[in-house]
Copies of this chain bind each other. A is one copy, B any other.
């Protein structure tokens, strides 16, 4: 039989490693002939836009470059399938594409929205009594998928964020005057990536001095108190704040006389980092700046975590093995057995336990003042950022693979 694979949702550094994992395991399986890559996620299946990977990924060089290339070489989508009992047209197109190309298994690399697609597709195939196996392979820098210890892509994002925040700490400490630096980090609903800045403690850094996550209510008044306290101890204060932090009800018009409402009022103009910068500037009055790590958090493969990249490849290999054993409607997950020595196994979990759900950062790992995280979090995060890939360079720049 043949198989198909697609990539979905926001980019990470590890999605192409998972694509490679599917491809390499398929090469080893005598029952699999061809691996088709679907262009722009499930949209490629619907439109019958497929690439025969066996024809384009030819050499070990190709595979090494694919592994170190960020984002998705097959493109991505944000497409959500309708309920097939209400609207089965698109399902028929998908089935037609699968049958036309002799596809007996489909692998979808993505986050909780993509697992919704895996869930619906596998139930459709079951109802139509088609033996086409649908397996999810997790990925997201948000680390917010249920039933898995962590998600591929997260470790590389966390490593980039840790290295970069440490560099910003150095940058912030050069002048003799006091300063406050607010770093806005991705995570709309879950604070994992922002919390992961705590790993710098392992290297003796005190910063970030304050860490705010969307799991807690955020009070501007308490924030300003925190800032004033920390300023007495540290000349260059570093704050890590999750983009998902929302200012609590009733404080949205915090001191409008001083004009802060201007900034709040236009959510399209500034994120929480810029908003807090303006608040600190007006209320505390010292040198303050905000920094958004922006998309660099999810695509900086030049400093990816080797642990993450190897795991992303491995979990995809195991997804192919699971499909060949006849499983469907599953997402492959990581189960952590030990922190020291770090040991994980992969296991299939029911995809309906994952689809459309979000795993929040554990409240028990947030300190009593709700402005930092505990050392249990450091122990959790550290193994995920270990090791570096040997990046192949040309002209002083990493080489990216193009299909």
Query: What is A's interface to B at a CB cutoff of 8 Å?
Result: 11, 40, 43, 69-72, 75-78, 159, 162-164, 166-168, 170-171, 173-176, 199-200, 202-203, 263, 269-270, 274, 291-292, 294-296, 298-303, 305, 382, 385-388, 393-400
Contact A163 B298 (CB under 8 A): no
Among A167, A270, A382, A399, max chain B CB count under 10 A is at A167
Contact A176 B270 (CB under 8 A): no
Contact A202 B397 (CB under 8 A): yes
Q: With A167-B300, A291-B294 known to touch, is A395 a contact of B203 (CB < 8 Å)? A: yes
Among A164, A199, A296, max chain B CB count under 10 A is at A296
Question: Closest CB-CB distance, A320 to chain B, in whole Å?
Answer: 23
In the assembled complex, the Cα of A11 lies from the Cα of B175 at a distance in Å of 10
Question: Closest CB-CB distance, A67 to chain B, in whole Å?
Answer: 14
Contact A202 B302 (CB under 8 A): no
Question: Closest CB-CB distance, A207 to chain B, in whole Å?
Answer: 12
Q: With A164-B296, A296-B296, A395-B199 known to touch, is A175 a contact of B301 (CB < 8 Å)? A: no
Contact B162 A396 (CB under 8 A): yes
Q: Which residue of B lies closest to A291 (CB)?
A: B294
Given the complex, which residues of B lie within 8 Å of A298, measured CB to CB?
Answer: 171
Question: Closest CB-CB distance, A397 to chain B, in whole Å?
Answer: 5
**A382 partner, pick from B71, B75, B395, beta carbons under 8 A:** B395
